[in-house]
C-alpha cells in the first residue's frame, strides 16, 4: 500500500467549508502540489471539463487543459510586466500567486471532447503550518454567458459606431447637398432676376411706344389702331407669361412674400369686376356679382387675392360658351368655421373626372394645346399655391355640358379700423389760377426708355424734363437744379440707382426730393428692397402709362406740400 506523503495529507485535511467548495457543481476547484500536478479535481471541474478526477489527478498540470497559445501569451506578458523570464506552462499560471500577489485572469479551458469555453480563474497559494507553499488552488467559473453579453455589446457598440459614422457621413452629405441647393437657389434667383430684367427692358419700349401711338392726337386710323391693338395685346400677354413663370419659380424657391391683413371682399371684387369687364364684354359673356352689399372681411394678401380672382375670372371667360355667363358670389364657407368662400361659376363645357384629376398639374392644358385659347397651363398651379400660402383652400366642381365652379376659401376676419393721419392741404391762392412749372429729373442710360419718358412728359406742358445718362451726372444735376421729382433707373453704369439714392438722402440740399424708381428689376424682393431703401414709389417696366402718371402726380403733390407750392396751382395747369 502506497504511503501518503505529508504534503498530500496536508492537502487532504479539509473542513466542511472546503468540502462544500470542492464539491460545488458551479465552480471548478483544482488543487495542485507545488510542482503543479493536479491533486484535487472537484465535481464542478468534472462537469465543466468532461474529465473524471481519476483521469487527471496525479497525471497532468492545469496547463494541459488550457489553451496552449494563451499560456504562452501569458508567460510573455508577465515577463514583460515583471522584467524577468517566465517559462510557458504551469509556472506562468501561478507565478504571481507564488509570490503572494493576488491573481485573477481569463483563460480558455479545453474540454475532453475538444470544445472550448472561456473561464475566469482565481489562483491562491496553499501553505502548510510553517507558511511554506505546498500547492495551489485554482477556482474557475464558466464565463461563456458574460462573454456572450460582452460580445453582443461589442457588436452593438460596433454597429452604433458604424451608424454614427454613417450618420456623420450622411450629415456631411446633407450639408453639402444643402449648400449645393442654396447655391443653386441663389443662382436660380439671380437668373430669374436677370431674365426678368432682360425681358422687361425691350418690352418697356414695345408697350410704352405702342401706348403713346394709341393715344396720339389726331387718333390713329382704324387700320393703324388694329395694328396697335395687336401689339399691345401681344405685349401685355407676353408680360403675363413672364409674370406667371416668375411667380411659379418664386413660390417653388420659397422666396415669395405675403403681406396679410384684414381686407374687405366687396372692394376687391369690385376692382376685379372693373378689370375683367372689358374682356367679358369682348366675348359677349354676362358677368354677375352677387351679394357684394354684404360686408365680409378676410385675412389675406390683397394683391395676391386679386391675382387669384383675376385668374379664375379670366379662365371662366376664356373657356365659356358663346353668350354664356359668369357668376361670382361669396359667403360663409360650408366646411370649417371661420372661413369665407368665394365661388366663380361659368356656363362652359365643363370638365370630366379625368380632367379634374389633372387640373392643377403644371403645364397641363387639358387637351387645349391646339385650341384657340392661349395659355401656359401654369396659372391654376400658381393660383392654388398662392391660396395655400395664405392659409386657404381651393377646389372645383364641374359637370360636363353644364359648367364649372371654382371656389376659394380664406380665413374670415373682422373689419379693419383705419386711423387716418391728419392732413391740412394748402389754402388756394385767391384770384386767377397760376401755372406752376415743375421739374422732373430722369436718370436713365437706355436711349429707348429716355425717349419714351420724354414723349410722355411732352404731353404735360407744366413739366420740364432734365435727363442724365449716369448716376454721377444725375446727382450733379439734382444739386444744381433742385428738381421737384427725380425718376431713377436702378441698373445704371458706374453707380447704381440705390447708390444714387443714398447720396441724395445724405445731402441736405437733395434729401427732401421724392425719388421714384423705374426699373426692369421687378422681382418681389427687388420691389421690397427698393421700398426699404426709401424710394417714394418703385415702378416696374414695362411702363403702364396710367400707373406711371398716377405715381408721378403723387410725387409732385408730395413735393408741393413739402415745398409749400399750392396744389391748386399745379392742378389748374394740368
Same-domain check for residues 400 and 448: no
Identify the domain boundary among 413, 430, 455. 413
* pTM greater than 0.85 (yes/no): no
User: Strands 28-33 and 38-41, how do they pair?
Assistant: antiparallel
Tell me the backbone φ, ψ of residue 13, rounded to 5 degrees.
-80, 105
Residues ≥6 apart with Cβ < 8 Å to 148: none
Q: What is the DSSP letter of 452?
A: H
Residues ≥6 apart with Cβ < 8 Å to 499: 471
Same-domain check for residues 131 and 178: no
Locate 553 and state its grid cell.
402726380
CATH at 191: 1.10.287.130
Q: Are 247 and 256 in contact (CB under 8 A)?
A: yes
Same-domain check for residues 129 and 156: no
Same-domain check for residues 502 and 393: no
CA distances from 191 to 119, 186, 194, 376, 519 (A): 72, 8, 5, 20, 17
Per the domain annotation, does 427 fall within a domain? no
Per the domain annotation, does 429 fall within a domain? no
Same-domain check for residues 123 and 158: no
Per the domain annotation, does 287 fall within a domain? yes
Q: Are 443 and 487 in contact (CB under 8 A)?
A: yes
Per the domain annotation, does 20 fall within a domain? yes
Per the domain annotation, does 106 fall within a domain? yes
Span 544-566, pLDDT tens digits: 888 888 999 999 998 888 764 44
Span 437-465, pLDDT tens digits: 789 999 988 888 888 888 888 888 889 99
Per the domain annotation, does 533 fall within a domain? yes
pLDDT for 333: 82
Report the C-alpha gap between 294 and 532 in whole angstroms: 37
Per the domain annotation, does 422 fall within a domain? no
Tell me the backbone φ, ψ of residue 168, rounded to 5 degrees.
-60, -45
Name beta bridge partners: 443.
468, 488
Same-domain check for residues 83 and 34: yes
Domain total for the chain? 4
Per the domain annotation, does 419 fall within a domain? no
pLDDT for 498: 92
Identify the domain boundary among 250, 284, 319. 250
The length of the chain is 574
DSSP codes joined into one string, 55-88: HHTTT--GGGGB-HHHHHHHHHHHHHHHTS---T
DSSP reduced 3-state for 39: strand
Neighbours of 269 (CB within 10 A): 22
Residue 48: domain span: 6-142
Residues ≥6 apart with Cβ < 8 Å to 149: none
Locate 165 and state its grid cell.
459614422
Same-domain check for residues 506 and 396: no
CATH at 354: 3.30.565.10
Name beta bridge partners: 133.
127
Same-domain check for residues 385 and 291: yes
CATH at 80: 3.30.450.20
CATH at 530: 3.40.50.2300
Identify the domain boundary among 250, 281, 311. 250
CA 515 to chain centre: 35
Residues ≥6 apart with Cβ < 8 Å to 65: 49, 51, 56, 109, 110
Same-domain check for residues 33 and 135: yes
Residue with cell 384629376: 357
Same-domain check for residues 279 and 175: no
The tens-digit pLDDT sequence of the chain (574 residues) is 445 555 555 555 545 556 666 677 778 889 999 998 999 999 889 999 999 999 999 998 888 888 889 889 988 988 888 888 888 888 888 988 888 887 898 889 999 999 999 989 999 898 888 889 999 999 888 888 888 888 888 888 888 888 888 888 888 888 888 888 777 766 766 666 666 667 777 777 777 788 878 777 788 888 888 887 778 777 776 776 677 666 666 666 666 667 788 888 888 888 888 878 888 888 899 999 886 666 788 888 887 888 889 889 988 998 898 889 999 988 888 877 789 999 999 999 888 888 888 787 755 545 454 444 554 456 788 888 888 888 999 989 999 989 999 999 999 888 765 443 343 444 444 444 445 578 999 998 888 888 888 888 888 888 999 998 888 889 989 998 899 999 999 888 888 899 999 999 999 999 999 999 988 777 777 888 888 999 999 988 888 888 888 999 999 998 888 764 444 333 433 3
Q: Are 5 and 27 in contact (CB under 8 A)?
A: no
Report the C-alpha gap between 525 and 196 in whole angstroms: 12
Same-domain check for residues 445 and 353: no
Same-domain check for residues 90 and 224: no
Report the C-alpha gap between 445 and 488 in whole angstroms: 10
Tell me the backbone φ, ψ of residue 541, rounded to 5 degrees.
-90, 150
pLDDT for 554: 92
DSSP codes joined into one string, 245-307: HHHHHHHHTT-----EEEEEHHHHHHHHHHHHHHHHHHHT-EEEE--TTS--EEEEEHHHHHH
Amino acid at each position: 500500500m502506497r504511503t501518503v506523503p505529508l504534503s498530500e495529507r496536508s492537502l487532504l485535511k479539509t473542513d466542511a467549508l472546503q468540502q462544500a467548495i470542492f464539491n460545488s457543481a458551479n465552480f471548478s476547484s483544482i488543487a495542485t502540489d507545488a510542482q503543479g500536478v493536479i491533486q484535487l479535481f472537484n465535481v464542478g471541474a468534472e462537469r465543466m471539463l468532461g474529465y473524471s478526477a481519476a483521469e487527471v489527478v496525479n497525471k497532468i498540470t492545469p496547463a494541459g487543459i488550457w489553451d496552449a497559445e494563451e499560456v504562452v501569451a501569458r508567460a510573455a506578458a508577465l515577463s514583460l510586466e515583471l522584467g524577468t523570464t517566465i517559462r510557458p506552462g504551469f509556472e506562468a499560471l501561478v507565478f504571481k500567486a507564488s509570490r503572494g500577489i493576488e491573481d485573477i485572469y481569463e483563460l480558455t479551458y479545453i474540454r475532453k471532447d475538444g470544445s472550448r469555453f472561456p473561464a475566469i480563474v482565481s489562483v491562491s497559494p496553499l501553505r502548510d503550518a510553517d507558511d511554506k507553499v505546498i500547492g495551489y488552488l485554482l477556482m474557475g467559473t464558466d464565463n461563456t454567458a458574460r462573454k456572450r453579453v460582452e460580445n453582443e455589446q461589442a457588436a452593438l457598440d460596433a454597429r452604433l459606431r458604424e451608424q454614427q459614422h454613417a450618420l456623420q457621413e450622411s450629415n456631411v452629405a446633407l450639408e453639402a447637398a444643402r449648400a449645393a441647393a442654396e447655391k443653386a437657389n441663389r443662382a436660380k434667383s439671380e437668373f430669374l432676376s436677370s431674365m426678368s430684367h432682360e425681358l422687361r427692358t425691350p418690352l418697356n419700349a414695345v408697350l410704352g411706344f405702342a401706348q403713346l401711338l394709341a393715344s396720339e392726337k389726331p387718333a390713329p386710323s382704324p387700320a393703324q389702331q388694329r395694328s396697335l391693338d395687336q401689339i399691345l395685346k401681344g405685349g401685355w400677354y407676353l408680360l403675363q407669361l413672364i409674370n406667371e413663370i416668375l411667380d411659379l419659380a418664386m413660390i417653388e424657391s420659397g422666396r415669395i412674400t405675403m403681406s396679410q391683413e384684414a381686407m374687405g371682399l366687396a372692394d376687391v371684387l369690385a376692382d376685379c369686376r372693373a378689370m375683367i369687364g372689358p374682356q367679358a364684354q369682348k366675348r359677349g359673356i354676362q358677368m354677375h356679382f352677387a351679394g357684394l352689399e354684404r360686408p365680409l372681411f378676410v385675412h389675406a394678401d390683397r394683391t395676391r387675392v386679386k391675382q387669384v380672382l383675376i385668374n379664375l375670372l379670366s379662365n371662366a371667360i376664356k373657356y365659356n360658351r358663346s353668350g354664356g355667363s359668369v357668376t361670382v358670389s361669396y359667403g360663409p364657407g360650408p366646411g370649417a368655421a371661420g372661413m369665407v368662400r368665394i365661388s366663380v361659376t361659368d356656363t362652359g363645357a365643363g370638365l370630366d373626372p379625368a380632367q379634374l384629376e389633372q387640373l392643377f398639374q403644371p403645364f397641363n392644358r387639358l387637351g387645349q394645346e391646339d385650341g384657340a385659347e392661349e395659355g401656359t397651363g401654369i396659372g391654376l398651379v400658381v393660383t392654388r399655391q398662392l391660396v395655400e400660402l395664405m392659409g386657404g383652400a381651393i377646389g372645383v366642381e364641374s359637370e360636363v355640358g353644364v359648367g364649372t365652379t371654382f371656389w376659394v376659401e380664406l380665413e374670415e376676419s373682422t373689419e379693419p379700423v383705419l386711423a387716418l393721419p391728419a392732413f391740412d392741404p394748402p389754402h388756394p391762392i385767391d384770384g386767377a389760377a397760376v401755372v406752376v412749372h415743375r421739374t422732373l429729373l430722369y436718370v436713365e442710360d437706355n436711349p429707348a426708355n429716355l425717349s419714351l419718358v420724354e414723349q410722355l412728359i411732352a404731353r404735360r406742358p407744366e413739366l420740364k424734363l432734365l435727363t442724365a445718362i449716369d448716376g454721377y451726372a444725375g446727382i450733379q444735376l439734382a444739386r444744381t437744379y433742385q428738381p421737384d421729382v427725380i425718376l431713377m433707373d436702378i441698373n445704371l453704369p458706374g453707380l447704381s440707382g440705390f447708390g444714387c439714392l443714398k447720396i441724395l438722402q445724405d445731402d441736405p440740399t437733395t434729401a427732401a426730393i421724392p425719388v421714384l424708381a423705374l426699373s426692369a428689376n421687378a422681382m418681389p424682393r427687388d420691389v421690397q428692397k427698393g421700398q426699404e431703401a426709401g424710394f417714394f414709389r418703385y415702378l416696374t417696366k414695362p411702363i403702364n402709362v396710367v400707373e406711371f402718371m398716377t405715381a408721378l402726380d403723387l410725387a409732385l403733390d408730395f413735393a408741393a406740400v413739402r415745398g409749400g407750392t399750392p396744389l391748386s396751382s399745379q392742378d389748374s395747369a394740368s
